[in-house]
Chains A and B, each alone.
Chain A
Amino acid sequence: MTHAAFSKKAATEIIAGFGSRAEMLVQILHGFIAKFGWINDDAIRQLADELNLSRAEVHGVVSYYHDFRTTPPGQHVVKICQAEACQAMGSRELSTHATGSLGIDMHESNENVTLEPVYCLGNCACSPAVMVDGKTYGRVSTDRFDEIVASLGESN
């Protein structure tokens, strides 16, 4: 997934797309993540200005939600479900395999991939489940995980 560098103009367009309404802050932040990949300090400053909120209020919302990362992600974001249905089908082992093979812990990135935990993808009848760049995969064995990650390498 390629993201654009933060620009004030693009940010204003996203904010305006939601009518510059403060109650759309969570939705606007999703727009920022889709466009820029992460939320930086300039973004927080601009949101506060344009939505007539304090920077503390915007920062509070950004830091509250798991989806709004404040550091740049890797080329690809891999999320492994850690919730009970997937645990019952070996998600702990899959996570151990993933951190080992990628050489990073959860919440860390290497040059290609950011690895994150997620608590339920709603794919609990096809556990364990994984989401890669917004696409959900089910019945993910360690072999299938390796294939999925390898295919990311090719697309780069």
Chain B
Amino acid sequence: MAATKIYVPRETAAISVGADDVAIEIARQAKESGASIELIRNGSWGATWLEPLVEVEVDGKRIAYGNVEAGDVAGMFASGLITGGDHARRVGPIMGIDYLIKQDRWTFWRCGLIDPLSIDDFRAHQGFKALEKAFEMGAEAVIEAVKASGLRGRGGAGFPAGIKWQTVADATGDQKYVACNADEGDSGTFSDRILMEGDPFGLIESMMIAGSAVGANRGYIYLRSEYPLTHSILARAIATARESGWLGENIQGSGFNFDIELHLGAGSYVCGEETAMLESLEGKQGIVRYKPPLPAIEGLFGKPTVVNNVVTLASVANIVNIGGEKYASFGVNRSKGTLAFQLAGNIKRGGMVEKAFGITLRELIEDWGGGTASGRPVKAVQVGGPLGAYIPAEQLDTPLDYEAFIEIGAMVGHGGIVVFDDTADMAQQARFAMEFCAIESCGKCTPCRIGSTRGVEVIDRMVAGDQRENNYDLLGELCDTMEDASLCAMGGMTPFPVRSVLKYFAEDFSPAVGADE
């Protein structure tokens, strides 16, 4: 009888709540009971609230057990884990979990499904098929497909990827680069990480598609240092791809050369800004560059460079496979395709939900997320990381759409959704926005470097009740200056969360601004 396949994620969130201990215990119990098992360390499906999520394959069907602790394993074996037996932790077939099957898994479909470090498993799941198709289509047709897809930068800026690729392809120069931005620094976001840990070859494939389309033979991944497990998984995947002829010279006899260098960031948030990232890749301080020149013209080491976020790049394989028009048939308005939304903070069922644009915040937070973890009412939702506005509960019916969010003074960003319940002190959150900017500012421009520190001071005075009206006006003017005169989004968008608190939660500046007259 063939060994029974048991899946336990090797993924940061799962391991952070005990998946490694569970895996060790499963191996031990199997040995003791004489059960023949094959333990597979898959990526995460993104149903993080169920982690550690163990699956057992029975008759080709995977049966899930959620929130498994090492202490549960002996009992699970006793109640017939190998045959998918009943147990308090049993959730049922993985393909019966609404949270997963109601998603539009276009980009993340291999995450959770496969063994991320097995290139054979990757190949068995359409791996490198898109690259082979891209070779057949030719560079121009690939860029046209990306343009037709309407794919926009998933890192937050939302710039059309196809136009960027075209610019690099058209730029003159014998050396061009593909730089993958994996500096996923926004609080509330982890989709890049889930992808890199769950489908690293998928990212490698998409980077090669980008390289072949724009004429680059060298790729860089700039990974944040807060992701050590991701680093080891990516490093192993890159080495495996090289050993099996999927990276390096004359890839699979195609005549195409491409290799990837993996770089670690060093704890600087602003290095997620594309020009600061390029500086850091060059071994320098991560200080923002003036634009123009655009990185597409003068990027890494002064050469034309495609700078794309992990999910932007990873979306491309699917676009090549299904065609740009088909991809664009998902989503709404100018927000085409899918985004991996991440439910975080005070939420009952946190995790990742890949869904076509147009879904509302309420659907994500209530239908998927199940409301707050605390069971208390939602007070505010910060979307798009530390530079994103705090959205009040009254606006939860806003559809996830780049333009619809801009209209309400917010941004979709990288799709992180951080939920706060009614115990949150929003004045403290506004102060933190300024404080974070002061800590992380690269220091190049004055409004960001100095303005953020002054912002903290002004908010402190408001909270202390010192000349509240005057300081309220002063904070508004400071926000104007930062927005208008900062070089990049760090200083330019820190006012978004601050202004949203002033607008919707002024009463949290206790006593409320304006209440003393």
Q: Which residues of A contact B (CB under 8 A)?
A: 21-27, 29-30, 60-61, 64-68, 83-89, 118-127, 129, 131, 134-139
Residue on A with the closest CB to B439?
A: A119
Question: What is the CA–CA distance of A86 and B344 in the complex, to the nearest angstrom?
Answer: 9
What 1/0 flags go to B294-307 for Cβ under 8 Å of A? 00000001000000
Interface residue B499 (Cβ < 8 Å from any Cβ of A): no
- Please judge, given known A-B contacts A86-B187, A122-B190, A124-B416, whether A64 and B13 are in contact too, CB under 8 Å: no
> Once the chains bind, are A85 and B188 in contact (CB under 8 Å)?
yes
Q: Which residue of B lies closest to A18 (CB)?
A: B283
Instruction: Give the interface of B toward A (CB within 8 A).
Output: 12-13, 15-17, 48-49, 51, 184-190, 193, 224-229, 263-269, 280-287, 301, 342-347, 350-352, 373, 382, 386, 416, 418-421, 424, 429, 432, 436, 439-440
Bound CA–CA A22/B281 (angstroms): 11
CA gap between A122 and B182 in the complex, in Å: 12
Separation in Å of the B425 CB from the closest CB of chain A?
10
CB-nearest residue of chain B to A64: B285
Jot down 7 A-B pairs with beta carbons below 8 A, ordered by A: A23-B283, A83-B187, A84-B382, A119-B440, A122-B189, A127-B350, A138-B16
Asked whether, in the complex, the Cβ of A120 is within 8 Å of the Cβ of B351, the reply is no
State whether A29 touches B190 (Cβ < 8 A). no
Q: For the complex, give the distance between the alpha carbons of A124 and B440 in Å.
A: 20
4 new A-B pairs (CB below 8 Å) besides A89-B346, A122-B189, A126-B17? A26-B265, A85-B344, A119-B187, A125-B49
Q: When the two chains form their complex, are residues A67 and B266 in contact, meaning their CB atoms are under 8 A apart? A: yes
Q: Which residues of B contact A66 (CB under 8 A)?
A: 266-268
Contact A124 B345 (CB under 8 A): yes
CA distance A81 to B268 in the complex (A): 14
For A126, give its contact among B48, B269, B419, B424 (CB under 8 Å).
B48
**Contacts between the two chains (Cβ within 8 Å), count:** 148
Partner of A118, one of B186, B226, B344, B419: B226
Task: Report B-chain residues with C-beta under 8 Å of the C-beta of A64.
Answer: 268, 285-287
Chain B residue numbers with a CB within 8 Å of A89 are 345-346, 373
Q: Which of B190, B282, B351, B352 is close to A23, meaning CB atoms less than 8 Å apart?
A: B282
Min CB gap B394→A, angstroms: 19
A124 engages B344 (CB within 8 Å): yes
- Complex partner residue of A125 from B224, B265, B344, CB under 8 angstroms: B344
List residues of chain B with CB within 8 A of the CB of A67: 225, 266-267
User: Given A61-B284, A85-B344, is A123 in contact with B12 using a C-beta cutoff of 8 Å?
Assistant: yes
Interchain CA distance A118-B420 in the complex, whole Å: 20
Most chain-A Cβ atoms within 10 A of its Cβ — which of B51, B193, B266?
B266
CB–CB B17/A122 < 8 A: no
The reply to whether B264 and A30 contact each other, CB–CB distance below 8 Å, is yes
Partner of B186 from the list A68, A120, A127 (CB cut-off 8 Å) is A120
Instruction: Using A123-B190, A125-B351, A138-B17 as known contacts, say yes or no to A85 and B268 having CB atoms under 8 A apart.
Output: no
